[in-house]
Amino acid sequence: MAKAKVYYTKDITPESLVRIYDTLGVKLPGKVGIKISTGEAGNNNYLKPELIKDLVTKLDGTIVECNVAYAGGRNQTERHLETAREHGFLDIADVDIMDAEGEIEISVENHKWLPVDIVGEHINNYDSFLNLAHFKGHEMAGFGGVIKNQSIGFASASGKAYIHSLGATRSPEEMMAGIMADVEGSLTAKQDGFLECMAETAKAVSDYVNGKANDGQPHIVYINVLNNLSRDCDCSATPEAPCMADMGIMASTDPVALDQASLDMVKNSTDSGRDSFMERVNDQNGEYILEYAEQIGLGNRDYELVTLD
């Protein structure tokens, strides 16, 4: 398999975000959904509206999200939209909570764990997507980039419970009770199985979106922004402060190559916070998701880094 190209700029500005998207050479067709994390209430590490506005406007995009499975500021549509408003996203674009009116099941081909992925039904309102992720640590996944943004991020609240529990339940309440109990026999997923479920459902979204079009062109492209590099996810209301300096923006048409290149940039950094970030990744065996994602055909870990600066 040929190396995937991953583009990189150290500049984190609205102009560089547009530039790196243009460098991909892909014109996303039709109605475009911009999949971001709107950030939990109390969190300040999410991608800021002033950073992404120019690119969202260029694509005439709609910001898309799904409700979360845990209690907080985004587990119900009205509350989620209010959090998005407080964080400034409704000032730059329409925001669509994709499971506000229901969910649909999409097939997970050659699955190991889940026969279906449960996603917000509004996925069908869009012809293509920009998967725009804030790269950071994550309490359960080790790190979060575009793969997590496409798996957990596209899943409805019950779909999130289904992934986290390896198919044991679709109930967010049951799933959270199992995670909080964290004992043998609970609904807490075995870690590698959880990572495999995320990879499989990310591929299911890719297969579904590109399969609907069936024109041989990519209908999803991927960008990671490596700023506010906390050990904790944007889903945390009380995240640790960023432990590393901002590193830049990376983009690709290959989600596995992009997450691998982003993680490699952290791993190879001389920043004093690098060990703290990687401790979170390694404690959760986070890099394994990339091995498995490549194995199932989501993308290629072997990449060519193209620096734009």
How many Å apart are CA 169 and CA 187, to the nearest integer?
8
Strands 220-226 and 248-252 come out as: antiparallel
In this predicted structure, the answer to whether residue 184 has a pLDDT above a threshold of 50 is no
How many Å apart are CA 100 and CA 58, to the nearest integer?
26
Instruction: For residue 76, report the phi and psi dihedrals to the nearest 5 degrees.
Output: -135, 145
pLDDT, position 176:
78
pLDDT, position 43:
78
9 close to 249: Cβ distance less than 8 angstroms? yes
Helices (H) and strands (E) in the chain, counts: 10, 12
What percentage of the chain reaches a pLDDT higher than 70? Answer: 95
In this predicted structure, the answer to whether residue 93 has a pLDDT above a threshold of 90 is yes
Count of alpha carbons within 13 Å of 213, Cβ hemisphere only? 20
17 close to 249: Cβ distance less than 8 angstroms? yes
Residue ranges of alpha helices (H) inside 182-303 are: 191-213, 255-267, 274-283, 288-295
305 close to 6: Cβ distance less than 8 angstroms? yes
Q: Which residue shows structure tokens 């014109």?
A: 27
pLDDT, position 152:
96
168 close to 225: Cβ distance less than 8 angstroms? no
pLDDT, position 188:
52
In this predicted structure, the answer to whether residue 136 has a pLDDT above a threshold of 70 is yes
Between 180 and 293, the more confident residue is 293
Question: pTM, whole model, 2 decimals?
Answer: 0.95
pLDDT, position 173:
85
pLDDT, position 186:
45
In this predicted structure, the answer to whether residue 182 has a pLDDT above a threshold of 60 is no
* 174, containing H or E segment: helix 172-181
pLDDT, position 228:
95
pLDDT, position 70:
76
Non-local (6+) Cβ contacts of 173 within 8 A are none
Q: Give the three-state DSSP class for 153.
A: coil
Q: Which residue shows structure tokens 């299911």?
A: 204
In this predicted structure, the answer to whether residue 179 has a pLDDT above a threshold of 70 is no
pLDDT, position 44:
86
266 close to 277: Cβ distance less than 8 angstroms? yes
Ordered by start, the domain boundaries in the chain are: 4-307
Q: Which residue shows structure tokens 């509206």?
A: 49
Measured at the alpha carbon of residue 144, what is the angle toward residues 188 and 174, in degrees to the nearest 5?
25
Between 297 and 39, the more confident residue is 297
How many Å apart are CA 5 and CA 302, to the nearest integer?
9
